[in-house]
């Protein structure tokens, strides 16, 4: 297989074209082999190079770069680039963590998918400020414009938000984790997703 450094070098023209960092330490690089158990076989062997995008030091949820490089040839198999979308609000911190927590609790109690699954906020979570998309993976239609008839449409708007972790139970005892995003300027829930 080609070396990790060679895999990263293969992405440099693409990174330059997209105006992304060309510093290897800014990326996560993982070797993956999905080709089975045959020895000395590079079938399905790849290097996956990823980076969550940020504005300053604030992570932009669902905004990322990902590239898959053949470990045999160094060719780019595929890539995804979801560029940063500037937030609609400011990062002035009008809403405290405790206010965001209450807003998230109230919201969790109103979501049809979650109401019978006993969702609770993670007691050990102190909250994180992120830039979150206006997207609710538990009820995607909730955030559709009233005149939109496409169930796969998500408005590309983002907001500085508190990110709060929560846990819910399904199938008896299986626990799952998710996050709720609360607008840090207004206290409105921006969305939620499975973590």
- What pLDDT is recorded for position 35? 67
Q: How far apart are CA 82 and CA 54, in angstroms?
A: 11
Q: What are phi and psi of 139, to 5 degrees?
A: -155, 75
- What pLDDT is recorded for position 152? 54
- What pLDDT is recorded for position 74? 93
Give the bridge partners for 177, in sequence order. Answer: 167
CB 87 within 8 A of CB 159: yes
Q: What are phi and psi of 62, to 5 degrees?
A: 65, 15
- What pLDDT is recorded for position 136? 84
Q: How far apart are CA 121 and CA 126, in angstroms?
A: 11
Q: How far, in Å, are 40, 94, 187 from residue 98 at the CA level?
A: 55, 12, 10
Q: Return the ∠ at Cα 18 (arms to 130 and 81), rounded to 5°.
A: 55
Q: How far apart are CA 137 and CA 143, in angstroms?
A: 10
Tokens at residue 115, please?
A: 């109401």
Tokens at residue 13, please?
A: 């023209």
Position of tokens 């449409």? 153
pLDDT tens digits for range 142-179: 555 555 555 555 557 899 999 999 998 887 788 889 99
Greater confidence (146 vs 26) lies with 26
Q: Residue 122: pLDDT above 60?
A: yes
Q: Give SS3 for 92.
A: coil
Q: How far apart are CA 92 and CA 147, in angstroms?
A: 32
């Amino acid at each position: 297989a080609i070396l990790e450094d060679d895999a990263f070098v293969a992405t440099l023209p693409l990174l330059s074209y997209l105006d992304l960092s060309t510093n290897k330490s800014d990326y996560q690089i993982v070797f993956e082999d999905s080709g089975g158990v045959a020895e000395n076989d590079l079938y399905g062997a790849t290097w996956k190079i990823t980076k969550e995008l940020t504005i300053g030091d604030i992570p932009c949820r669902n905004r990322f770069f990902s590239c898959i490089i053949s470990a045999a040839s160094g060719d780019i198999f595929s890539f995804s680039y979801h560029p940063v979308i500037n937030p609609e609000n400011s990062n002035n911190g009008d809403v405290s963590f405790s206010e965001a927590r209450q807003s998230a609790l109230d919201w969790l109690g109103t979501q049809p998918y979650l109401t019978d699954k006993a969702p609770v906020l993670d007691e050990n979570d102190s909250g994180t400020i992120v830039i979150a998309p206006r997207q609710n993976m538990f009820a995607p239609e909730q955030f559709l414009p009233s005149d939109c008839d496409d169930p796969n449409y998500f408005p590309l708007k983002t907001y500085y938000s508190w990110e709060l972790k929560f846990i819910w139970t399904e199938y008896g005892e299986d626990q799952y984790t998710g996050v709720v995003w609360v607008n840090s300027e207004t206290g409105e829930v921006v969305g939620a997703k499975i973590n």
